[in-house]
């Protein structure tokens, strides 16, 4: 898998607010990796036999530690990848809720499920499959781990984390939390390895399943490798979410929701409202109101609670987003506001508004992972639906309008994994998260999240002379 981390001999934190190196970790040796996989495989042999109560006790303890340390862990997120500390604290609190959710509900979700049959009895027994490899990105350093780890450890699998190389302190912190919570050795382990090692990890016969959240190219390579070795995989990849504003929408609420939704995590969210589709009747006013909001946005130190827009995750991330904006404007789009780097240290850029985006322009087809609001005026709802579906991605989306029955009718016609009415695509433990098309496959969170890496084994009770 192509990854610049492949060429590094160390894994390090570079604070995107200052561009200074904060901490450096050594890449693990082949011997260390072998010991970790072996321990995970050994742990599975007994962890699979533990009771739901024992597994739930571990997850509840992890949740408790997360809540106790949410301030410090939130600050760690901010230092490593730049998000607002207020957002980071909320992320840690959400993780605690997800661990508690699976601890509280896992036994119910995984209870034997009876099947109707005219002869004898039959049921599904949900059984863990083994060591799971989870490859996660940097944009939500604790949440990305949690939604993969919580259901699978509750299901009886053991867990190997290969986290993004720019958030090593968060990766190490989560492993430490599991250890403090009483997790036996091998149940949850962090791997400090470059991307070049992922293929070998997937190929290892002791690894039985593989989950990845990341870019479309990384997902394609990852899925091909899992398929080669006949292993179950899940992918959560990019998104280009449509945010459809109907004519009857409360315009002020719609503008505010879209504008600040796009600034969430500095725009580095797969389910951020990346394409705001507005009826022509209200489009001019919508653009005017959005510009007024962005003109007043406070950009600065993400540790300062008054800051509204943090830096991007790295210098390269900022350069890439600026290049995408410039290429789109050069192709004929209109730059309504922003589009520039800030004259200060750190990976900062202005909040940006683009309109006049046509098919063939870079912003039309590519995911922009930064604070760039792309606004598309359309004549009617049919045109809005057509535009919403004219993307290779299908992760989330929003329909904003007072007539919720109509909004739901439109939502049903959008080819995507999730659609929220009058809200940006969100996150909750009990709600499934995942997409379709090039946004990946599989679901995390909700009851669905715990079934991805278990064996739904049929057990049939009958007699030799019974019909099948």
Report the catalytic residues. Answer: 236, 270
CA–CA separation, 246 and 283 (whole Å): 10
Question: How far, in Å, CA of 370 to CA of 329, rounded?
Answer: 16
Residue among 4, 32, 29, 47 at smallest CA distance from 314: 4
Task: Please give the distance of CA 391 from its chain centroid, rounded to a whole number.
Answer: 19
First-to-final CA distance of the chain: 46
Provide the pairing of β-strand 158-162 with 188-190.
parallel
Q: How far apart, in Å, are the Cα atoms of 398 and each of 39, 217, 272, 366, 371?
A: 44, 26, 10, 19, 18
d(CA 68, CA 64): 6
Pick from 371, 337, 340, 381: which is nearest to 355 by CA?
337
Cα torsion 326, 328, 329, 330: sign: positive
DSSP code for 4: G
Give the residue carrying structure tokens 């870079």.
Answer: 362
Distance CA 11, CA 165 (A): 6
**Residue with the two structure tokens 């009958």:** 462
User: Residue holding tokens 């725009």?
Assistant: 267
461-468 contacts: CB < 8 A, separation 24 or more? 461/120, 461/121, 461/122, 462/119, 462/120, 462/121, 463/120, 466/119, 466/120, 467/118, 467/119
Residue 283 to residue 276: CA distance in whole angstroms: 10
Cα-Cα-Cα-Cα dihedral sign, residues 323, 324, 325, 326? positive
Alpha-carbon distance 73 to 69, whole Å? 6
Contact 246, 407 (CB under 8 A): yes
């Amino acid at each position: 898998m192509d990854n610049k981390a492949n060429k590094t001999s160390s894994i390090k934190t570079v604070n995107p607010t200052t561009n200074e190196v904060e901490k450096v970790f050594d890449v693990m040796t082949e011997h260390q990796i072998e010991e970790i996989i072996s321990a995970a495989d050994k742990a599975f042999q007994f962890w699979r036999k533990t009771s739901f109560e024992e597994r739930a006790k571990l997850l509840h303890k992890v949740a408790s530690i997360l809540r106790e340390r949410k301030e410090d862990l939130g600050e760690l997120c901010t230092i490593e990848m730049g998000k607002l500390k207020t957002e980071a604290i909320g992320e840690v609190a959400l993780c605690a809720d997800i661990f508690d959710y699976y601890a509280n509900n896992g036994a119910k979700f995984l209870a034997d499920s009876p099947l109707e049959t005219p002869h004898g009895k039959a049921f599904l027994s949900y059984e863990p499959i083994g060591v799971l490899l989870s490859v996660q990105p940097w944009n939500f350093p604790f949440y990305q781990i949690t939604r993969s780890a919580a259901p699978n450890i509750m299901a009886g699998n053991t867990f190997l984390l290969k986290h993004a190389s720019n958030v090593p302190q968060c990766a190490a912190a989560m492993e430490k939390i599991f250890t403090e919570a009483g997790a036996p050795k091998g149940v949850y382990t962090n791997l400090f390895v470059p991307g070049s090692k992922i293929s070998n990890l997937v190929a290892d016969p002791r690894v039985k399943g593989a989950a990845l959240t990341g870019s479309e190219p990384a997902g394609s390579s990852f899925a091909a490798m899992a398929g080669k070795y006949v292993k179950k995989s899940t992918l959560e990849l990019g998104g280009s979410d449509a945010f459809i504003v109907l004519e009857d929408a409360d315009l002020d609420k719609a503008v505010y929701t879209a504008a600040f939704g796009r600034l969430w995590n500095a725009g580095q969210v797969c389910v951020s409202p990346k394409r705001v589709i507005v009826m022509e009747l209200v489009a001019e006013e919508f653009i005017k109101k959005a510009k007024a909001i962005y003109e007043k946005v406070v950009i600065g130190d993400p540790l300062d609670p008054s800051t509204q827009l943090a830096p991007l995750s790295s210098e390269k991330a900022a350069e890439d987003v600026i290049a995408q904006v410039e290429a789109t404007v050069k192709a004929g789009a209109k730059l309504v506001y922003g589009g520039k780097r800030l004259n200060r240290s750190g990976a900062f850029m202005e909040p940006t508004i683009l309109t006049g985006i046509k098919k063939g322009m870079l912003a039309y087809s590519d995911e922009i992972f930064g604070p760039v609001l792309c606004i598309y005026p359309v004549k009617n709802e049919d045109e809005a639906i057509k535009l919403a579906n004219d993307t290779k991605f299908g992760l989330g989306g929003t329909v904003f309008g007072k007539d919720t029955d109509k909004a739901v009718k439109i939502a049903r016609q959008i080819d995507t994994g999730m659609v929220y009415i009058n809200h940006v695509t969100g996150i909750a433990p009990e709600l499934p998260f995942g997409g379709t098309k090039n946004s990946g496959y599989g679901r995390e969170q909700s009851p669905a999240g715990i079934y991805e890496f278990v064996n739904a084994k049929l057990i049939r009770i009958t007699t030799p002379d019974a019909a099948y």
